[in-house]
Structure 1
Amino acid sequence: MKLTYIAFVVLGLIWGSNFTYMKWASELISPAQITLLRVFFGFLPLAFVAWRKGVIERSQLKHLPHFFVMAVVATAFYYFAIVKGTALLPSGIAGVLGGSIALFTAIASLLFLRTEKLNGLMAAGVVSGFAGIVLISRPWEGARNSIDLLGVFWMLGGAIILGLSYVYVRRFLSPANLPPLALSTWQIGLALPVLLLVTDLTGIGRILQDWHAAVGVAIGLGVLGTGTAFLIYYFLLQQLGAVAASGSTYITPVVALLIGWAAGEQVGPLEVVAVVLILASIAMLQVGRQRALRMTLQSQAS
Structure 2
Amino acid sequence: MKWAAQWISPAQITLLRVVFGFLPILTLALSMRVLSWRHLRHLHHFFVMSLLATAAYYFAFAQGTALLLSSVAGMLSGAIPLFAFVAALVFLRDEPLNPKSVGGTLLGFLGILLIARPWTGIGDVDLAGVAYMLAGSMSVGVSFVYARKFISPLQLPAVALATYQMGLACLVLLLVTDLAGIDRLYQDSRATWGLIAGLGLCGTGLAFVLYYVLVQRLGAVVAASVTYLPPLVALAIGVLWVGEPVEALDIAAMIAILVGVCTLQLGRQTTPGPQEVAQHAVVKPE
Cα deviation, 1:14-66, whole Å, max 9, x if unaligned, reads xxxxxxxx000000000010000001000000000000011111221111000
Structure 1 match to 2:283: none
Normalising by structure 2, we get a TM-score of 0.92
Structure 2 match to 1:18: none
Structure 2 match to 1:83: 62
Structure 1 match to 2:8: 29
Which residue type is aligned with residue 211 of structure 1?
S
What SS does the aligned partner of 2:229 have? Answer: helix
Q: Is the 8 A contact 2:96 2:267 kept in 1?
A: no
Which residue type is aligned with residue 201 of structure 2?
V
Task: Please report how far the alpha carbon of residue 114 of structure 1 lies from its aligned counterpart in structure 2 after TM superposition.
Answer: 3.2
Task: Please report how far the alpha carbon of residue 291 of structure 1 lies from its aligned counterpart in structure 2 after TM superposition.
Answer: 5.2
What is the distance in 2 between the residues matched to 1:273 and 1:189?
Answer: 39
1:220 equivalent in alignment to 2:198: yes
Which one of 151, 158, 170 corresponds to residue 173 of structure 1?
A: 151
Which residue type is aligned with residue 94 of structure 2?
T
What is the distance in 2 between the residues matched to 1:187 and 1:286?
Answer: 28
Normalising by structure 1, we get a TM-score of 0.88
What is the distance in 2 between the residues matched to 1:114 and 1:174?
Answer: 17
Q: Is the 8 A contact 1:45 1:227 kept in 2?
A: yes
What is the distance in 2 between the residues matched to 1:26 and 1:203?
Answer: 12
What is the distance in 2 between the residues matched to 1:291 and 1:60?
Answer: 31
Which residue type is aligned with residue 185 of structure 2?
I
Structure 2 match to 1:9: none
* Structure 1: gaps of 5 or more residues: 1-21, 295-302
Between the two proteins, the alignment pairs up a number of residues equal to 272
Which residue type is aligned with residue 87 of structure 1?
A
What SS does the aligned partner of 1:264 have? Answer: coil
Task: Please report how far the alpha carbon of residue 293 of structure 1 lies from its aligned counterpart in structure 2 after TM superposition.
Answer: 5.5
What SS does the aligned partner of 1:56 have? Answer: coil
Give the CA RMSD over aligned residues: 1.3
What is the distance in 2 between the residues matched to 1:47 and 1:156?
Answer: 29
What pairs up with 1:98-109 in 2 under 5 angstroms?
A: 98-109=77-88
What SS does the aligned partner of 1:99 have? Answer: helix
What is the distance in 1 between the residues matched to 2:98 and 2:156?
Answer: 31
What SS does the aligned partner of 1:173 have? Answer: helix
Structure 1 match to 2:182: 204
More helix by share: 1
Task: Please report how far the alpha carbon of residue 181 of structure 1 lies from its aligned counterpart in structure 2 after TM superposition.
Answer: 0.9
* Structure 2: gaps of 5 or more residues: 274-286
Q: Is the 8 A contact 1:243 1:286 kept in 2?
A: no
What is the distance in 2 between the residues matched to 1:51 and 1:212?
Answer: 31
Structure 2 match to 1:97: 76
Structure 1 match to 2:131: 153
What is the distance in 1 between the residues matched to 2:32 and 2:255?
Answer: 40
1:280 equivalent in alignment to 2:259: yes
Task: Please report how far the alpha carbon of residue 70 of structure 1 lies from its aligned counterpart in structure 2 after TM superposition.
Answer: 1.0
What is the distance in 2 between the residues matched to 1:34 and 1:178?
Answer: 30
Structure 1 match to 2:282: none
Q: Is the 8 A contact 1:119 1:292 kept in 2?
A: no
Query: Percent identity over the alignment?
Result: 53
Which residue type is aligned with residue 92 of structure 2?
L
Cα deviation, 1:114-159, whole Å, max 9, x if unaligned, reads 322312211111011101000011111013x421000000000010
What is the distance in 2 between the residues matched to 1:68 and 1:235?
Answer: 24
Structure 1 match to 2:119: 140
Cα deviation, 1:66-95, whole Å, max 9, x if unaligned, reads 001111222111110000000000000000
Q: Is the 8 A contact 1:26 1:87 kept in 2?
A: yes
